[in-house]
Amino acid sequence: MRGTTLRSRRRRVARAGRWLLSMAVLAGCDGPSVGARVGEARSRLEASEGGRIVLSVIEAHGGLAAWYAAPTSSYAWEYSNLGSNVRFQSFLVADNATRRVYHELRTYGTPEAVAEVDGRFAWDGEEAWISPAALENPNPRFWATTGYYFQSIPFVMADPGIRFLVLPDEPLEGAPHKRVMAYFDAGVGDSPGDTYTLYIRPDTRRLGAVLYTVTYGEPYEPGPGAPEPTTSGNLLHYLDYVTVDGLTVPTRFRGYTYRDGVQGDLRNEAWASEISFRRPFDDSRLEMPADARIEPYSVQ
């Protein structure tokens, strides 16, 4: 969500995907084994207090081994934003190793009324495109991976280039939650100034909510050390968990304004269905059709 948002479409793709591909070249095979990837990620996460907490959350959602054993993520993703007066649904398939994603756009409209749409959009690892070119929305550069990354928290928090800061516990829906803020090394993706504060349920260690800021399309100059913890942003609740292929993931999200530590009005919702972590990835779906257009990244 990007100011309208469901997640700032960061190109953590660039860092995580290129790291995995370079490891594959060095290994001289299809890629590092699940065990090697688990060991590398665990070593990084265990190096800091915040990382150890995030690792415990990942384990509560199924664990690193189950995540790295999943070749793809696929689901119908539906998003509705009252303030932006937009609602759409697409079916996405993502390559979990390279973070390339393609979508079949099913519906587009307003929260009150949607219509069927015959469209496609994708992120091929280098460029984002949408077909047909006459479709002005959704912005494929932003939306091709936004739903994927929000749906994939906490697992993607094991990516390289992420740092953690432990924050004081804070109540959420009447119960104290542990909090860890994730932020990024300079140059990681389209939105390196984003922050994500994980609210961790005390009883299950699962994710209860994420407080996030959005810097997609904005100039960003990193300062030394961790950014200041935010008291304002967008608070996204993770709800109605299911376990599919060994991974426990939400099927419903409710996003609220959040100002000076106080939750405000409902601003957006999202739903995930038809979830699988085993569907094959069709590389041909990344090939840009003749009637498509490329969406460049632009700084406001």
> Both tokens of residue 50?
């915040």
Rounded CA separation 234/266 (Å): 10
58, 207 Cβ separation under 8 angstroms? no
Distance, C-alpha 272 to centroid of its chain = 13
6 occurs within a structural domain: no
- Give the pLDDT of residue 194: 84
Rg (CA), the chain: 18
128, 121 Cβ separation under 8 angstroms? yes
The chain-wide mean pLDDT, for the chain, equals: 87
7 occurs within a structural domain: no
Domain coverage including residue 190: 12-295
235 occurs within a structural domain: yes
229, 219 Cβ separation under 8 angstroms? no
pLDDT band at 131 (very low <50, low <70, confident <90, very high): very high
Distances (CA, A) of 256 to 3, 119, 209, 210, 213: 11, 29, 11, 11, 12
> Both tokens of residue 148?
């994927």
pLDDT in tens, 111-127: 999 999 999 999 999 99
* pLDDT over threshold 90, residue 99: yes
* pLDDT over threshold 60, residue 227: yes
**For 243, phi and psi rounded to 5 degrees?**
-110, 120
182 occurs within a structural domain: yes
234 occurs within a structural domain: yes
Rounded CA separation 37/31 (Å): 9
* pLDDT over threshold 60, residue 157: yes
**CATH number for the domain including 218?**
2.50.20
pLDDT band at 297 (very low <50, low <70, confident <90, very high): confident
- Give the pLDDT of residue 221: 57
Q: What percent of the chain has pLDDT over 70?
A: 83
- Give the pLDDT of residue 11: 44
pLDDT band at 231 (very low <50, low <70, confident <90, very high): confident
Sign of CA dihedral 126, 66, 240, 273: positive
For the stretch 245-259, what's the b/e string if a residue is b when 16 or more beta carbons lie within 10 angstroms of its beta carbon? Answer: eebbbbbebebbbbe
> Both tokens of residue 93?
């398939």
State the pTM of this model: 0.86
pLDDT in tens, 173-198: 889 999 999 998 765 444 457 899 99
Among the residue ranges 47-61, 204-218, 252-266, the one predicted with the least confidence is 204-218
3-class SS at 61?
Answer: coil
3-class SS at 39?
Answer: helix
Rounded CA separation 185/161 (Å): 5
Comparing C-alpha atoms, which of 158, 250, 258 is closest to residue 206?
A: 250
How many domains, the chain?
1
* pLDDT over threshold 60, residue 12: no
3 occurs within a structural domain: no
Type of residue at 52 = R
43 occurs within a structural domain: yes
Residue in the block written with tokens 């999202």 = 270
The enclosing H or E element of 119 equals strand 114-123
262 occurs within a structural domain: yes
Type of residue at 185 = D
pLDDT in tens, 71-95: 999 999 999 999 999 999 999 999 9
